[in-house]
C-alpha cells in the first residue's frame, strides 16, 4: 500500500540555529515542502534583518530548493503599523509567547490586557498578518491551556479580522473554543495525537516525550484525534518538533520538546491509516494550511509506503520520538 502526499507542510517547527540548525534542517526539508519556522532563538527574531539572515541560514542548512521556510517574528507589543508594513513581505505570521512559558520565551508577553496589545494587533489585522499563539497561562501544568482560553476568546472577539492560530492544542476545551470563533484556527502535533501524560509519566518517566504544553488526558487526545482525523478545515499539522541534545534531555532538569521532524510523515500515516482515514491526510498535512495562510508551497511529491521503518536511536545527539521502535510506514521517495 502507498500514499502520495503533495507538498506536505509543517506549520510549527523549531529549527534552532548554528550546529543544531545544520543538523535538523535537512531532516525537515527532506520530506516537507515548507515549514513555519518559530522565532524563539536567543535573542528572539524581532526585526526584518534578523528574519532575512535567519532565513538565509536555514536555506543554506536545508540545502533543498523545494523547501520554503515560512518565517515568523517574535511578537512584541512595540511593533507598530509602519514597522509591520515594512517587514510584512518577509514573514508569514507573528508568534506570541507568554513570558517564560516555554524554551527561550523569557522575552514574551506578560500583559494580556487587550489595551496593551491592541495597537499591534490592529495593525496586524489591517495588514493581514496572522497571529500564532502559544496559549498557556502560568497556572497548574494540566490546566494552563484551558485557563488561557478566555484570552483566545477575548482576542477573537476584539479582532474579528485577525487570523489567530492556537498553536499545538492539547485539550478538549481548546478544540471546543476553536469551533466557536470563525477567526480561530489551530495546529496539532504528531505527539499530541499519540500520547497522553500516561506515556510521559505513567510508567517510567520519559524525558524524550516531555514537551510544553504537556500531554494531557485520554479524553483530550480523543478530541484532538477527532478533528485531525476528519481534517477539519480549521486544523493543520504543526509538528512543534523541537530538538534538544541528549544531555539537555537526560538530565536533572530536562528541557521541553519532542523531536519528530524525521518521523512525522510516517507517524501520521500510521495513525491515520489505523483510524481508517488515510484519505484525509493530504488535507491535514497541506491543503488546510494552504487555505488558512493563503500560500502555495513549492512542489514536492512524497510517496509513503507501508513497509517497516526502524526509527534510529538518535540523529547525532538528538533522540527522536519512536526511537528504536518500528513504524509501519516509511518514506519511499520524494520528488
**Minimum separation from the CB atom of position 20 to a second copy (A):** 18
251 touches a second copy (CB under 8 A): yes
Separation CA 34–CA 92 (nearest Å) = 12
The span of 17-25, 72-80, 137-145, 265-273 binding a second copy (CB under 8 A) equals 137-145
Binding piece for a second copy, criterion CB under 8 A, among 46-54, 116-124, 248-256, 262-270: 248-256
Quote the cell numbers at residue 310: 526502524
3-class DSSP assignment, residue 10 = strand
Angle (CA) 267 62 280, round 5°: 30
176 vs 250, beta carbon nearer a second copy: 250
Q: Min. distance of Cβ 241 from a second copy in angstroms?
A: 18
Is residue 42 at the binding interface for a second copy, with CB under 8 A as the rule? no
CB of 312 to a second copy, least distance (A): 14
Answer whether 174's CB lies under 8 Å from 229's CB: no
Residues 6+ apart with CB under 8 A from 99: 105, 106, 107, 108, 109, 110
Q: Does 210 bind a second copy (CB under 8 A)?
A: yes
Which run of H or of E encompasses 60?
helix 48-62
Catalytic (active site) residue 317: no
Question: Which is catalytic among the residues 240, 247, 287, 317?
Answer: 240
Q: How far is the CB of 252 from a second copy (least distance, A)?
A: 6
Q: Which three cell numbers stand for residue 155?
A: 482576542
Hey, which residues between 301 and 320 contact a second copy (CB under 8 A)? Answer: 319
Question: How remote is the C-alpha of 74 from its chain's centroid?
Answer: 14
* Chain position carrying cell 489551530: 186
**What positions carry a catalytic annotation?**
240
Binding-site ranges for a second copy (CB under 8 A): 140-142, 196-198, 200-208, 210, 214, 217-218, 250-256, 319, 323
Amino acid at each position: 500500500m502507498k500514499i502520495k502526499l503533495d507538498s506536505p507542510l509543517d506549520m510549527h517547527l523549531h529549527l534552532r540555529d548554528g550546529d543544531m540548525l545544520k543538523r535538523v534542517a535537512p531532516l525537515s526539508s527532506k520530506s516537507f515542502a515548507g515549514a513555519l519556522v518559530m522565532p524563539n532563538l536567543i535573542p528572539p527574531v524581532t526585526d526584518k534583518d534578523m528574519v532575512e539572515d535567519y532565513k538565509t541560514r536555514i536555506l543554506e542548512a536545508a540545502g533543498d530548493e523545494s523547501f520554503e521556510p515560512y518565517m515568523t517574528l517574535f511578537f512584541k507589543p512595540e511593533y507598530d503599523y509602519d514597522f509591520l508594513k515594512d517587514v510584512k513581505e518577509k514573514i508569514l505570521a507573528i508568534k506570541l509567547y507568554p513570558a517564560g512559558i516555554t524554551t527561550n520565551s523569557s522575552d514574551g508577553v506578560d500583559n494580556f490586557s487587550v489595551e496593551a496589545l491592541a495597537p499591534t494587533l490592529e495593525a496586524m489585522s489591517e495588514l493581514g498578518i496572522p497571529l500564532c499563539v502559544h496559549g498557556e497561562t502560568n497556572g497548574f501544568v494540566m490546566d494552563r491551556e484551558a485557563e488561557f482560553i478566555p484570552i483566545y476568546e477575548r482576542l477573537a472577539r476584539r479582532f474579528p479580522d485577525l487570523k489567530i492560530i492556537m498553536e499545538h492544542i492539547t485539550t478538549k476545551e481548546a478544540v471546543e473554543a476553536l469551533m466557536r470563533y470563525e477567526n480561530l484556527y489551530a495546529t496539532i502535533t504528531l505527539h499530541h495525537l499519540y500520547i497522553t501524560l500516561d506515556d510521559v509519566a505513567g510508567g517510567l518517566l520519559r524525558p524524550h516525550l516531555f514537551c510544553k504544553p504537556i500531554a494531557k488526558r485520554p479524553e483530550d487526545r480523543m478530541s484532538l484525534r477527532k478533528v485531525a482525523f476528519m481534517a477539519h478545515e480549521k486544523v493543520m499539522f504543526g509538528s512543534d518538533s523541537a530538538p534538544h541534545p541528549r544531555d539537555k534531555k537526560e538530565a536533572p532538569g530536562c528541557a521541553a520538546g519532542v523531536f519528530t521532524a524525521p518521523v512525522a510523515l510516517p507517524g501520521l500515516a500510521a495513525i491515520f491509516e489505523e483510524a481508517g482515514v488515510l484519505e484525509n491526510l493530504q488535507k491535514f498535512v497541506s491543503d488546510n494550511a494552504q487555505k488558512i495562510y493563503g500560500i502555495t508551497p513549492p512542489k514536492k511529491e512524497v510517496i509513503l509506503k507501508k513497509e517497516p521503518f526502524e526509527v534510529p536511536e538518535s540523529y547525532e545527539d538528538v533522540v527522536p520520538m519512536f526511537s528504536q521502535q518500528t513504524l509501519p510506514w516509511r518514506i519511499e521517495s520524494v520528488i
